[in-house]
Amino acid sequence: MGTVTAPRSELSEEFRQMLEVLSEGSVHIHFDPYEDIDWTVATDPADPRWVLDPENDPLGAHPWYQAQPLDRRVEIGRVRFMNVIRTGAVFETLLVRSMMHYVTTLENFDPQFRYCLHEMTEECNHIQMFQELVNSVGDDVQGPHRHLRRALPIISLLFGYMPTLFMITVLAGEEPIDHYQKAVIRADGDAPDLVRRAVQIHIAEEARHISFADAWLRHTLPRQNALKRFGVSLWFPIVMRMGALEIIVPPYREMARVGVPKDVYIEAFLTGRTGRRLMAGYFNDMRRLVSETGLINPVSQRLWQRLGIWGEPSRYRGEPDRRAVLRD
Ligand SMILES: [Fe+2]
Ligand SMILES: [Fe+2]
C-alpha cells in the first residue's frame, strides 16, 4: 500500500505558534457559565450600580440623563446595559454560525481547526451566560436592530465564502464590546455582582478571540494581491463603524420604552461629543493593525476620517484611549 502523506501547510511558523498558544490557553483557562457563576444570587433591579458611567457610556454622559432622578437613571441604565448584553449574545451566534462555515474549508492537519472549535465552544458558553444574565435580571430586552436580526442567516452564509470579511467583522463586534465591558468593570460606580462576574469571564476569553482574528489577518493580508488588499482597505473602516453602531447604539424602540426622548437618543449616541469620542476610541488597536498590514492609503485613510473613527494607532495592544481624533 502506498503512503498517504500530509500536504505541505501554507501557514507560517509564527501563525502556527500563535495557534498553539491560543489552543493551549483554551484548554487551561476556560470557564463554564453554570459552574463558575452562581445564578441563585438575585440581582437587585434597583441597585444604584446600574447607573450609566458618564465616561464610558454616551447616554450616561448626556445632561438629560444626568438630570433624571436616581430611580429613573437606574432603570434606563439597566435596560441600556442589558440591551448591549443581548446584542452581544446575538452577535456571538453569528460568529459561531460563520466560523462553522470557515472550519469546513480547512484541510486535514490544519491547526486552525482545533483552535476555531475551542473558540466556538467558548462562544456557545458566552451565549448561554449572556442569556442567563438577561433572564436573571428580568428585562425583556430585544437586542440588535430588527434589520440585523432578519439578515443574520444570510450574513453568516456570505461569510462562509468571504473569510477575510468575516474576520474583520469579528473584530468590528468584539473590539467595541471588549472596550465597553472593560470600562464597566474599571468604573468607579462598579456594576452589580452578577454582571461583574459575567463580564470578567467574557473579557478573559475574548482576548484569545481577538488575538486569533488579528493574527489571521496579519497572516492572510500580505498574501493577497494588491487589488484585493485595496478593496479590503476600504471595507475595513466601513465594517468597523457598522459593527460599533450595531453593538453600542441600541435600537431607538428599546430606549423609547424607558422614556428616552428621540432628540436625546440622537445626540447621545450619534452626534454628541462623548459618543463620537468613545466610537473613535474603540478602534485604536484596529488602526494599528491596518497601519502595520499596509491597509492605509490616501483613500482608505480619508474613509476612516469621514466615518469618525480615525486617530493615531495604539502603541501596544490594549493601550488606553488617548489618541482618537474628533471632527467638529
Ligand atoms: Fe464571546
Ligand atoms: Fe469572541
User: pLDDT tens-digit profile of 169-228?
Assistant: 999 999 999 999 888 887 665 789 899 999 999 999 999 999 999 999 999 999 999 999
Cα 107 to averaged position of ligand 2 atoms, centre (Å): 23
Sign of CA pseudo-dihedral 181, 183, 185, 189: negative
Helices (H) and strands (E) in the chain, counts: 13, 0
Instruction: Assess if residue 4 is contained within a domain.
Output: no
Q: Distance, CA 212 to ligand 2 centroid (Å)? A: 10
Q: What nine digits make up the cell of 149?
A: 436580526
Nearest-angstrom CA–CA distance, 116 and 93: 14
pTM of the model: 0.91
Domain annotation covers residue 116: yes
In terms of residues, how long is the chain?
A: 328
How many angstroms separate the alpha carbon of residue 106 from the centre of ligand 1?
23
Report yes or no: 124 and 236 within 8 Å, Cβ to Cβ.
no
317, part of any domain: no
DSSP 50: G
Q: Roughly what angle, to the nearest 10 degrees, separates helices 163-186 and 146-161?
A: 130
Q: Where are the alpha helices (DSSP H) in 162-283?
A: 163-186, 193-220, 226-248, 252-256, 262-266, 273-281
Q: How far is the CA of 223 from the centre of ligand 2 (A)?
A: 25
- By three-state DSSP, how is residue 164 classified? helix
Residue 93 C-alpha to ligand 2 middle, in angstroms? 10
* Positive or negative torsion for Cα 253, 259, 265, 268: negative
Q: How far is the CA of 5 from the centre of ligand 2 (A)?
A: 34
CB 210 within 8 A of CB 225: no
Q: How far apart are CA 243 and CA 92, in angstroms?
A: 12
User: Other CB atoms closer than 10 Å to residue 142's CB: what's the count?
Assistant: 17
Question: Which ligand is the nearest neighbour of the Cα of 119?
Answer: 2
Asked if residues 108 and 6 have their Cβ atoms less than 8 Å apart, the reply is yes
Q: What are phi and psi of 324, to 5 degrees?
A: -70, 150
- The CATH number of residue 139's host domain is 1.10.620.20
For ligand 2, the distance from its centroid to the CA atom of residue 147, given in whole angstroms, is 22
Q: Is residue 144 part of a domain?
A: yes
Single out the residue of 247, 234, 2, 258 nearest to residue 145, CA to CA.
247
Cα of 293 from ligand 2 centre, angstroms: 22
In a domain, 322, yes or no: no
Residue in the structure block whose three cell numbers are 445632561: 63
Amino acid at the residue 192: P
Quote the cell numbers at residue 8: 505541505
pLDDT of residue 184: 84
CA distances from 216 to 59, 101, 167 (A): 35, 16, 8
Tally of structural domains, the chain: 1
How far does residue 209's CA lie from ligand 2's centre (Å)? Answer: 5
Ligand 1 centroid–CA 271 distance in Å is 29
What is the number of the ligand closest to the CA of 88? 1
In this structure, which ligand is nearest to the CA of 212? 2
The reply to whether 80 falls in a domain is yes
Neighbours of 266 (CB within 10 A): 13
Q: What is the pLDDT of residues 137-176, one digit of tens each?
A: 999 999 998 888 899 999 999 998 999 999 999 999 999 9
Which residue range(s) make up the domain with 249?
18-34+57-306
Ligand 1 centroid to Cα of residue 177, in Å, is: 9
Mean per-residue pLDDT of the chain: 91
> If the chain, 328 residues long, is cut into consecutive pieces of 10 residues, what is the mean pLDDT of each piece?
58 95 92 92 92 93 97 97 95 96 94 97 97 95 90 93 96 93 78 90 93 96 94 96 93 96 96 90 93 94 94 72 54
Query: What protein residues have CB closer than 5 angstroms to ion ligand 1?
Result: 92, 126
Residue 167 pLDDT: 97
Question: Which ligand gives the minimal distance to the CA of 123?
Answer: 1
- Is 107 inside any structural domain? yes
